[in-house]
Amino acid sequence: MTHSDKTRANRRLVPKLFLFSIAMFGFGYLLVPLYDVICDITGFNGRTTSLAVATEGNANGVDTSRTVTVEFVSSLNSGAPWEFRPTVTRMQVHPGEFYEISYVATNLTDQDMVGQAVPSVAPSLAAVHFQKIECFCFDRQDFAPGESKDMPVMFRVDPRLADHVSVVTLSYTFFKLDPSS
């Protein structure tokens, strides 16, 4: 290879390498939606998906021969001056049937507050088989000073839930949000 050949070869190769590294920067960002998709399919991180409406309904029927224990827990992220707890802590359910429970959130301060409850299910593999219809109140919420809100959740456990899972936990963590954002 002569020197000018080398220069030409470099001119061809180097932009490709730069493009490749820029593409890999993009790939880093692509991992974000990719992760969400994988989580939605496998329940990888215990995040649940909310049903918009109960259209699927009882297509799979109610399995009355089986009982699953569902536990309800609540957590407050630090710096969230709320009281937040479920009205029921534990119940026995039949897979396929819809049940309703609720959480109560109370603003303990004398100021306007914005907060949001974020769900998670354990074991994480049960997350895809835990279907719920949440009240809109699980979106971002404004709380007047001292205001208390009842937050109902309708849910059912899919009969396809693996046999060895006998307890499922639904957890909500309450976060304080920045009012400006």
- Asked if 133 contacts 50 with a C-beta cutoff of 8 angstroms, the reply is yes
Q: Which tokens hold the place of 118?
A: 């974020």
Nearest C-alpha neighbor of 55 from the set 131, 129, 135 = 131
- Smallest gap from residue 59 Cβ to other proteins (A): 26
Cα-Cα end-to-end distance for the chain: 59
- Smallest gap from residue 173 Cβ to other proteins (A): 5
- The footprint of other proteins on residues 88-147 (CB under 8 A) is 89-90, 116, 118, 120-125
Backbone angles phi, psi at 29, to 5 degrees: -70, -35
**Site membership for other proteins, residue 3 (CB under 8 A):** yes
Alpha helices in the chain (DSSP H): 3-42
Sites of contact with other proteins (CB under 8 A) = 1-4, 6, 9-10, 13-14, 17-18, 20-22, 24-29, 31-32, 35, 39, 42-47, 71, 73-79, 83-85, 89-90, 116, 118, 120-125, 164-167, 169, 171, 173, 175, 177-178, 181
